[in-house]
Amino acid sequence: MPVLITYATSRGSTKEVADRIASRLHAVGFAVDCRPVDHVFSVENYSAVIIGSPIYHQKWLLDAQKFVDVEAVGLRMKPVWAFSLGMVGKPGWRRARAIKKETSRIEDVLIQKVPKVRDHRLFGGKDDGSSVSTPLRGLYRCLGGSFGDMRDWTAIDSWTSLIAKELHADGL
């Protein structure tokens, strides 16, 4: 059975990360199916699931939240990994504190619904800031945030390699 890589996205950045994960898993011999959460009708025919979403207001997109709610029973019976794209910025205590809070909120919700999520990673996202008002952009920058493509492809690739090792160890 293939590995499902599913995602919610608002501007395409999370799709690009999901496609990268799918490509790397396929390259090491796994059958993969990469699709948006609203195009997955059941997780029954998959051996494992990787789900991702951007974070807005310290929550996953509604489509991703609904997917986890609807598929919670099926997800509990499979190896599941999750990733989020979110807050990025200059290193410092403010950023570290905000990232810790954001990560723990996402993980708390996930673990309530799918207690055996093997791992959740928060990666930097991609945002040019064009959808944010000028005053909010300024405030965000004052708090240590920055705009642009902050995705760390090396970290994403390393995480994917860890998943592949676990899948091989499980005999999938």
Tens-of-pLDDT digits for all 172 residues of the chain?
Answer: 899 999 999 888 999 999 999 999 999 999 999 999 999 999 999 999 999 999 887 788 999 999 999 999 999 999 999 999 986 655 566 666 766 777 777 777 788 888 889 999 988 777 666 666 767 767 766 766 666 667 889 999 999 999 999 999 988 7
Taking the C-alpha atoms of residue 172 and residue 161, their distance in angstroms, rounded to an integer, is: 14
The residue count of the chain comes to: 172
Residues 3-169: name the CATH superfamily: Flavodoxin domain (3.40.50.360)
Residue in the structure block whose two tokens are 């794209």:
85
Give CA torsion, residues 85, 91, 93, 99, to 10 deg: 0
SS (H, E, C) the chain: CCEEEEECCCCCHHHHHHHHHHHHHHHCCCCEEEEEHHHCCCCCCCCEEEEEEEEECCEECHHHHHHHHHHHHHHCCCCEEEEEEECCECCCHHHHHHHHHHHHHHHHHHHHHCCCEEEEEEEECEECCCCCCHHHHHHHHHCCECCEECCCHHHHHHHHHHHHHHHHHCCC
The predicted pLDDT at position 86 comes to: 81
